[in-house]
Every structure is written in structure tokens, then in C-alpha cells.
Chain A
Amino acid sequence: AQKVTQAQTEISVVEKEDVTLDCVYETRDTTYYLFWYKQPPSGELVFLIRRNSFDEQNEISGRYSWNFQKSTSSFNFTITASQVVDSAVYFCALSEAPGANSKLTFGKGITLSVRP
């Protein structure tokens, strides 16, 4: 069975601080995808990134970066120079490879509050 653990429940930082959101996953599949979604107060889940299990390259997109380490089954997300607009709940999720049922297994989410 697949499982995603987001051990941090709430994080509060001051604007411009860097913050890392942790994600640890469990799966028996050799091919899988990892995702991060953002859920702002409006409620809609916003896709941020998808990572293939074969691709362990770290990725950077503006102030966002992701560190995928297969050896520790972790897929951590760092926001550099946080802004108030980053305040949201962030979910890490896992799915089987496309072709199968790609249903997402989500963690419980991390509530990030960025204070001015």
C-alpha cells in the first residue's frame, strides 16, 4: 500500500525566511510519481510539480525548489524568501505510473503561515 507522511503539521515563518516542507513516502512500486499541490484559503488545489521516480535531479522554479532522494524516500520542498502569498496548506502526493490507476495518495498537509 502507498503512504505519504508529512510529519510537520503547521509552520509559521516571517516573510523573507526560507522554509522547507518535508515529505516521506512508502510504495512497493518501482515506477511512481510524486507531486506537490498548494491549497490556498480559497480551497482549490493548485498543481506545483510532478517528479518521476527515475529522475532524481533536483528542480528549481523561481523561489521554489524540490529535493528528491530515493535512498531516503523523501521529496522535500523549499520556499526561498517566503512571501505572505505563500500562506496555504501544502500537500505531497504519490501515484502509480501512468497507464495504471493514477489515483493520488495524499499526506495530511502542512499549513504554512507567512507573517509580514
Chain B
Amino acid sequence: DTGVSQDPRHKITKRGQNVTFRCDPISEHNRLYWYRQTLGQGPEFLTYFQNEAQLEKSRLLSDRFSAERPKGSFSTLEIQRTEQGDSAMYLCASSLVGATDTQYFGPGTRLTVL
């Protein structure tokens, strides 16, 4: 049973560029979450999907951010017109909704915006 995977692990981009991250959840998990973690802070919720439906978005998710989960499998998180303040670790987690619903995290994508 493979865990949650994320790609790329590191991304360096220039301000104003668009970036896209991918997350592959644990295969039988129907929920997928995105979080953002800045230095010295705990992860903060961005958005989540149940199957292919995006059910909630945080206020942190500005209009420049968009997430998709086509077919309820992998998910992508795109940031348009990146800003230096977007520099952070972007974490993906998946869970199986039900009695436990424990979230298991991937290794994260570290974004640096120059």
C-alpha cells in the first residue's frame, strides 16, 4: 500500500509565473486535502475534495489559486501569477471518510518564489 505522493518535491519560480502541483492520494481514499505550511507554523487548511467534488475552500485560497480533482483520483493545485508571499510548503493529505477519517500526508512540495 503506497502512501500519498506529491510532485514536484521542490519548485523555484520567478514572481508572476504560474505553477502547478500534483498529489496522488492513497488509492482507496475518497477525501483529499490541501494545506499550506509556512516556516515556523503549523499547516493551514486550503481546500478539500470528496471524490471529485470540491466541498470547501478556505479564505486563504485567493482567486489566483485553483484546485481540481478530475475523476476523483489525483489532484492538482495551480497558482497563477505567483507572489513572494506564496513561498511555502504545500501539503496534500488523503483519508477514507467513515469511522476513522485519519488524514495521511504526502512529503509536500516546497515552493520558492523569487
Chain A residues with CB under 8 Å of chain B are 4, 33, 35, 37, 42-47, 50, 91, 93, 95, 98-99, 101-109
* A108 x B100 contact (CB < 8 A): no
Q: Considering the chains assembled together, what is the distance between the CA atoms of A96 and B67 in angstroms?
A: 23
Closest 10 CB pairs of A and B: A106-B42, A98-B101, A45-B105, A103-B45, A44-B107, A102-B101, A101-B56, A106-B43, A50-B102, A91-B42
* A108 x B40 contact (CB < 8 A): yes
Contact of A44 among B33, B35, B106 (CB under 8 A): B106
Q: Considering the chains assembled together, what is the distance between the CA atoms of A42 and B98 in angstroms?
A: 30
Residues of A within 8 A of B65 (CB): none
Q: Considering the chains assembled together, what is the distance between the CA atoms of A95 and B106 in angstroms?
A: 19
* A45 x B101 contact (CB < 8 A): no
* B97 x A44 contact (CB < 8 A): no
* B107 x A103 contact (CB < 8 A): no
Interface size range of chain B in the complex: 20 to 34
Contact of A98 among B33, B42, B99, B104 (CB under 8 A): B99
Contact of B102 among A47, A103, A105, A108 (CB under 8 A): A47
Answer whether A98 and B43 are a contact pair too, CB < 8 Å, given A44-B108, A103-B33.
no
Contact of B44 among A33, A98, A102, A106 (CB under 8 A): A106
> Please, which residue of chain B has its CB at the minimum distance from the CB of A4?
B42
